[in-house]
């Protein structure tokens, strides 16, 4: 008689990671438009960018009436003292309650059970899961005891997960997971995985690199089967991450290493149509992807700085149009450079709402000045202009003006 494999129950509002190919959490490249585009191209789930618990605590939640997004905002710390200066709220996190429903996992950066729980409760009603970042090697994360620093304190990391399971997962009926890296030896990794997988989490994601390794170094997959076996023993879904290039490869690796799912990062950052299978047509041309991304970014009034950064990831850097987009200061300018004429009216409206129209006004003034100089030249006024310009470059004394006396100190 075959025994049924053990499985940690998937909560009513949660999602089972098994059989899924998902978008990795990426700072800047994991904002709302990128996630929606990945979902459009076939991602089963999407992780938002790591968000620090303390940055979420104290935020205000509001629904944007235009984009229908849920925005978590807060007042910037460097508020101008002048009451005449309007203070614009900073958007800490954005999600789309319908387009991402049941498919968004919120990744939290934390070093404390209490602040992790406090921050997670804010988004728990709107996400399918909470994932703890225990793998980021960047100093801004590790210096605060977060990210990969948690791998060195497994008991503390386990206490964070247990608190989230008890006070957030069970209450809001969503899953709790953790994303880790490999430790120095297979034995240490095994001990870590056994400890974490017994906390009640529903999923464990392993980035197949150690903390000191950089993305350009080849992923290490020798420990994957061992990690997957432990997760199966505890009934926890195991997701692999590291050098997964597309959906077809993800499915092949899942079968080869007997893991439950796979996560795509840099390949999706460069072209999110990597979630399409070859049977579905595979990778799409960059221009088609960029146009689709621009439509989504405009639909949700995405911050221009983030849109510009993402366009830079999606476009070939050697093209002339890449340089034009890189120099753009608004949606209108970028759509013009890309010749997305059908988006120009919407781009203008979004620029107005985001306060980007002033850049266009400045450009128009400079253009008008240029035309005015051309008109002066056509009217024979260039000699007068040169004379005035030359005079302004003469010393004060040569122009009959007394030099100011030094102030006494």
Greatest Cα-to-Cα distance within the chain, rounded to the nearest angstrom = 108
Q: How far is CA 187 from CA 182, 184, 211, 258, 387, in A?
A: 10, 9, 16, 20, 81
Neighbouring residues of 135: CB distance < 8 A, sequence distance ≥ 6: 147, 148, 151, 179, 180, 181, 207, 211
Exactly one of 136, 208, 231, 335 is catalytic; name it.
Answer: 136
Buried residues in 288-309 as b, exposed as e (16+ CB within 10 A): ebbbbbbebbbbbbbbbebbbe
The answer to whether 136 is a known catalytic residue is yes
Distance CA 140, CA 122 (A): 23
The DSSP symbol for 152 reads G
Q: Is the dihedral of CA 325, 327, 333, 337 positive or negative?
A: negative
Q: Is 210 exposed, middle or buried (0-12, 13-18, 19+ CB in 10 A)?
A: middle
Distance CA 317, CA 307 (A): 16
Residue 376 near residue 385 (C-beta atoms within 8 A)? yes
Distance CA 320, CA 310 (A): 17
How are the residues of the chain apportioned to helix, strand and coil, as percentages rounded to the nearest 5? 45, 15, 40
Residues assigned a catalytic role: 136
């Amino acid at each position: 008689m075959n025994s049924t494999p053990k499985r940690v129950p998937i909560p009513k509002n949660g999602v089972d990671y098994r059989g899924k190919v998902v978008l990795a959490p990426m700072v800047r490249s994991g904002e709302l438009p990128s996630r929606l585009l990945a979902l459009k191209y076939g991602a089963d789930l999407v992780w938002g960018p790591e968000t620090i618990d303390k940055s979420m605590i104290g935020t205000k939640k509001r629904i944007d009436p235009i984009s229908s997004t849920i925005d978590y905002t807060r007042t910037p710390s460097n508020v101008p003292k002048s009451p005449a200066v309007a203070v614009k709220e900073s958007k800490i996190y954005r999600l789309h309650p319908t387009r991402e429903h049941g498919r968004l996992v919120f990744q939290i950066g934390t070093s404390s059970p209490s602040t992790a729980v406090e921050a997670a409760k804010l988004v728990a009603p709107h996400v399918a899961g909470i994932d703890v970042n225990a793998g980021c090697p960047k100093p801004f994360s590790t210096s605060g005891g977060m990210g990969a620093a948690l791998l060195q304190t497994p008991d503390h990391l386990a206490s964070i997960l247990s608190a989230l399971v008890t006070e957030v997962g069970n209450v809001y009926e969503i899953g709790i997971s953790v994303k880790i890296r490999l430790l120095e030896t297979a034995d240490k990794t095994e001990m870590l995985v056994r400890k974490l997988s017994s906390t009640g989490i529903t999923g464990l994601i392993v980035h197949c690199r150690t903390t000191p390794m950089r993305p350009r170094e080849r992923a290490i997959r020798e420990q994957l089967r061992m990690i997957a076996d432990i997760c199966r023993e505890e009934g926890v879904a195991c997701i692999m991450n590291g050098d997964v290039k597309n959906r077809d490869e993800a499915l092949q690796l899942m079968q080869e290493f007997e893991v439950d799912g796979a996560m795509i990062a840099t390949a999706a950052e460069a072209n999110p149509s990597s979630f399409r299978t070859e049977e579905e047509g595979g990778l799409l041309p960059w221009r088609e992807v960029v146009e689709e991304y621009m439509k989504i970014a405009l639909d949700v009034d995405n911050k221009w700085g983030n849109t510009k950064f993402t366009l830079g990831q999606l476009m070939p850097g050697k093209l002339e149009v890449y340089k034009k987009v890189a120099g753009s200061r608004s949606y209108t300018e970028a759509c013009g450079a890309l010749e997305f004429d059908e988006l120009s009216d919407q781009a203008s409206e979004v620029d107005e709402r985001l306060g980007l129209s002033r850049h266009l006004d400045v450009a128009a003034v400079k253009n008008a000045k240029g035309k005015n100089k051309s008109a002066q030249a056509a009217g024979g006024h260039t000699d007068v202009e040169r004379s005035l310009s030359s005079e302004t470059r003469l010393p004060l004394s040569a122009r009959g003006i007394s030099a100011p006396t030094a102030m006494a100190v």
